[in-house]
């Protein structure tokens, strides 16, 4: 059997950096020093990897080439970093702790949380000591120590669920990777920057990418502009760079937000013109549709969760139908590959060669089914009715695949499902099938389904593409991904609790209201117990039909300018933050290709990669300066 090129040295370095991510990410976020773990563009991973490849590895190579980390180890480390940044803050840990304590601390006679929720919250799912919860929000009295024992049981159950679910998503990535990468030849634009940072000859200390003047020119642009904002934090006389605003139309009843992010312009430059055009076109189209509905007075009054607040329910359902068709069609076209994967269950030595996959297909399928069963039992024990459990699992899996495909393979800077699975069920099936107990249990699913934009499947999909650079078995890469996840989870749990008990969660950014996405909405739902919304199904059908037509047209007419991804992610707050950057990148790339052709496009690429690296680096550098010099900082980028 061939020897793995991923060394123990690389694995240990990845573990150390994953622990650092878990400890430093919550600390930086709550004091506004920097943001880590909010979007799949992984700025935290990119910054640490930049420091490692350019500064640390370059310096170590001066002492001796054999001391430096090899290419395979750098790939392993970056994959571990991408996995580590998915869980320590907004992507999971803040929501986990905030959701399980929120209804106890914020219960009042007016909201009646005690009457509505407490009888349906299992004792093992949340801390049972109110004094410990109170001190979490308000800080420990002087002389008292953190009550770690109160947290052991609930955190053990939750971390078991998260690890099992992450393993399930890694298995799914292993199963789908060859279909996406080889059969469909998807581009994985987000892999290009780290790949450029490690591609070098053996005799070089650093990659040629770091010696390219075009890259450093692009690097300088966000560094200069965003440094103005950092300096303004200390010296108010310094002008502020504010690349955001909004346009009003339909008699000022509708606002079109505009936000320019240079790093996202860099990412979108690497994406197909059809995708970038469709993102901004369909977003603007959806705003016009929203304005027409409001003007005519026919907009839906249905109230969904906090994640769908930025658009009417009609558009949410429309996008949901489009998403389901997009994912199901992708799985349908993958039938030949999936048959080969399934065949490996019965004939592990025959069929396709899976020796260089992160998991053998037989292991991936058995692992997926086993972890899916564990997750299903866990959710059932938490109170999810068995009748709706299959719907919850299937819809959640479809949404996880959506985000992984759109972000990792389509290169979209950030995305999440148009509706959270809990409200897909509440709106689509009604509450009578759930009851109050089921609604409370569904609210806890916000912990792992709310911020699906940072799911481990996205990190794994990108990581597996990057790992194609390294031949040979990749079992050690799998263990690296799992260790990175566990290390980051444990470190983040420790740091989040320590920060809250030391300073009081109510005094810290973001964790002071983590949990508010669900409980204030579930309370009125239990009181009203709405039935299924048939109008929502109508708009799901409309969205599905339009998406089906877009896919048919894309395959039939070579000149067709619209990509189905654009319509599927047309609504939502996240798209409102990226559409303008997508439009700018589309215009620049269109002009470059029109007047300079492919040659000029390739020559300009280092500049746009520099935009990404510059925004990542200036945020990381000023974050470190904030931590040393200021009680609270000023976040420079939300990429």
Query: In the prediction, which pLDDT does 90 show?
Result: 87
Please give the helix or strand (H or E) that residue 255 lies within, else none: strand 254-259
240-282 pLDDT, tens digit each: 999 988 888 777 778 889 999 999 999 999 999 999 999 999 9
* 386 in Cβ contact with 422 (< 8 Å): no
**Distance in angstroms (rounded) separating the CA atoms of residues 172 and 176:** 6
Q: With bands split at pLDDT 50, 70 and 90, how would you rate the model's confidence at 409? A: low
Of 505 and 203, more confident: 505
Of 122 and 415, more confident: 122
Annotated domain spans of the chain: 8-629
Instruction: Look at residue 58 and tell me whether its pLDDT is greater than 90.
Output: no
C-alpha separations of 525 from 225, 395, 565 in Å: 46, 21, 32
Dihedral sign for Cα 472, 77, 476, 360, please: negative
Highest mean pLDDT among 1-5, 198-202, 284-288, 486-490: 486-490
**Distance in angstroms (rounded) separating the CA atoms of residues 108 and 413:** 40
Query: In the prediction, which pLDDT does 121 show?
Result: 97
Instruction: Look at residue 65 and tell me whether its pLDDT is greater than 80.
Output: no
* 52 in Cβ contact with 40 (< 8 Å): no
The pTM of this model reads: 0.95
Q: With bands split at pLDDT 50, 70 and 90, how would you rate the model's confidence at 543? A: very high
596-611 pLDDT, tens digit each: 999 999 999 999 999 9
Q: With bands split at pLDDT 50, 70 and 90, how would you rate the model's confidence at 67? A: confident
Of 66 and 535, more confident: 535
Beta-carbon neighbour count of residue 638 at 10 Å? 16
**Distance in angstroms (rounded) separating the CA atoms of residues 272 and 284:** 19
Average pLDDT over residues 148-158: 97
* 93 in Cβ contact with 27 (< 8 Å): no
3-state SS assignment for residue 248: strand
**Distance in angstroms (rounded) separating the CA atoms of residues 570 and 562:** 12
Q: With bands split at pLDDT 50, 70 and 90, how would you rate the model's confidence at 325? A: very high
Query: In the prediction, which pLDDT does 1 show?
Result: 57
3-state SS assignment for residue 247: strand
Average pLDDT over residues 462-482: 95
* 488 in Cβ contact with 24 (< 8 Å): no
Average pLDDT over residues 522-540: 93
Instruction: Look at residue 64 and tell me whether its pLDDT is greater than 80.
Output: no
Beta-carbon neighbour count of residue 529 at 10 Å? 13
76-126 pLDDT, tens digit each: 999 999 999 999 998 899 999 999 999 999 999 999 999 999 999 999 999
| pLDDT, the chain, mean | 93
Query: In the prediction, which pLDDT does 60 show?
Result: 85
Instruction: Look at residue 558 and tell me whether its pLDDT is greater than 80.
Output: yes
Q: With bands split at pLDDT 50, 70 and 90, how would you rate the model's confidence at 589? A: very high
Share of the chain above pLDDT 70, in %: 100
CA atoms within 13 A on the CB side of 435: 9
Instruction: Look at residue 348 and tell me whether its pLDDT is greater than 90.
Output: no
Average pLDDT over residues 166-192: 94
DSSP 562-606: --HHHHHT-SSHHHHHHHHHHHHHHHHHHHHHHHHHHHHHHHHHH
**Distance in angstroms (rounded) separating the CA atoms of residues 389 and 151:** 27
């Amino acid at each position: 059997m061939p020897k793995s090129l991923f060394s123990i040295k690389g694995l240990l370095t990845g573990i150390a950096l994953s622990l650092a991510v878990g400890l430093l990410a919550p600390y930086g976020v709550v004091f506004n020093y920097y943001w880590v773990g909010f979007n799949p563009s992984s700025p935290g991973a990119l910054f640490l990897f930049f420091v490692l490849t350019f500064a640390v590895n370059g310096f170590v190579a001066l002492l001796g080439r054999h001391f430096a980390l090899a290419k395979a180890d750098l790939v392993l480390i970056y994959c571990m970093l991408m996995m580590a940044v998915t869980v320590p803050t907004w992507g999971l840990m803040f929501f986990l702790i905030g959701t399980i304590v929120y209804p106890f601390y914020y219960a009042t006679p007016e909201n009646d949380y005690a009457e509505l929720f407490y009888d349906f919250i299992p004792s093992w799912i949340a801390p049972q000591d109110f004094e410990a919860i109170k001190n979490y929000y308000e800080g420990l009295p002087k002389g008292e120590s953190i009550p770690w024992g109160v947290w052991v049981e609930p955190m053990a159950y939750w971390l078991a669920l998260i690890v099992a679910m992450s393993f399930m998503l890694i298995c799914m990535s292993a199963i789908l990777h060859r279909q996406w990468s080889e059969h469909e030849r998807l581009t994985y634009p987000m892999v290009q920057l780290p790949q450029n940072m490690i591609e070098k000859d053996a005799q070089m200390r650093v990659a040629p990418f770091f010696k390219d003047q075009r890259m450093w020119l692009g690097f300088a642009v966000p560094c200069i502009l965003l440094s103005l904002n950092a300096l303004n934090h200390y010296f108010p006389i310094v002008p502020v760079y504010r690349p955001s605003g909004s346009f009003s139309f339909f008699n000022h009843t509708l606002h079109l937000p505009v936000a320019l992010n240079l790093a996202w312009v860099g990412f979108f430059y690497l994406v197909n013109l059809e995708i970038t055009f469709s993102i901004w076109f369909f977003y603007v189209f959806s705003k016009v549709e929203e304005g027409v509905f409001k003007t005519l007075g026919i907009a839906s009054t249905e109230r969904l969760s906090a994640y769908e607040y930025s658009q009417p329910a009609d558009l949410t359902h429309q996008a949901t139908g489009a998403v389901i068709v997009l994912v199901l069609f992708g799985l349908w076209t993958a039938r030949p590959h999936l048959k080969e994967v399934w065949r490996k269950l019965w004939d592990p030595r025959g069929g396709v060669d899976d020796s260089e996959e992160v998991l053998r297909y037989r292991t991936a399928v058995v692992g997926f089914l086993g972890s899916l069963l564990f997750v299903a039992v866990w959710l059932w024990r938490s109170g999810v009715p068995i009748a709706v459990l299959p719907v919850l699992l299937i819809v959640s899996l479809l949404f996880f695949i959506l985000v992984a495909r759109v972000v990792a393979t389509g290169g979209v800077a950030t995305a999440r499902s148009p509706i959270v699975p809990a409200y897909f069920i509440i709106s689509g099936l009604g509450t009578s099938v759930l009851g109050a107990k089921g609604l409370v249990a569904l609210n806890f699913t916000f912990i792992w389904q709310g911020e699906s934009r940072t799911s481990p499947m996205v990190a794994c999909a990108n990581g597996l593409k990057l790992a194609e650079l390294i031949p040979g078995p990749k079992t050690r890469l799998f263990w690296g991904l799992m260790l990175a996840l566990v290390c980051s989870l444990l470190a983040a749990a420790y740091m989040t609790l320590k920060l809250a008990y030391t300073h009081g969660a109510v005094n810290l950014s973001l964790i002071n209201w983590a949990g508010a996405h669900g409980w204030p909405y579930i309370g009125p739902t239990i009181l009203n117990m709405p039935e299924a919304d048939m109008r929502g199904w109508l708009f799901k059908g409309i969205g599905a039909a339009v998406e089906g037509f877009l896919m048919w047209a894309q395959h039939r007419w070579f000149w067709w300018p619209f990509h189905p991804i654009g319509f599927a992610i047309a609504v939502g707050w996240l798209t409102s933050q990226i559409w303008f950057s997508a439009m700018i990148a589309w215009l620049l790339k269109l002009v470059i290709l029109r007047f300079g052709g492919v040659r000029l496009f390739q020559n300009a690429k280092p500049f746009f990669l520099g935009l990404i690296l510059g925004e990542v680096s200036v945020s990381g550098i000023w974050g470190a300066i904030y931590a040393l010099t200021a009680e609270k900082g000023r976040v420079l980028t939300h990429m």
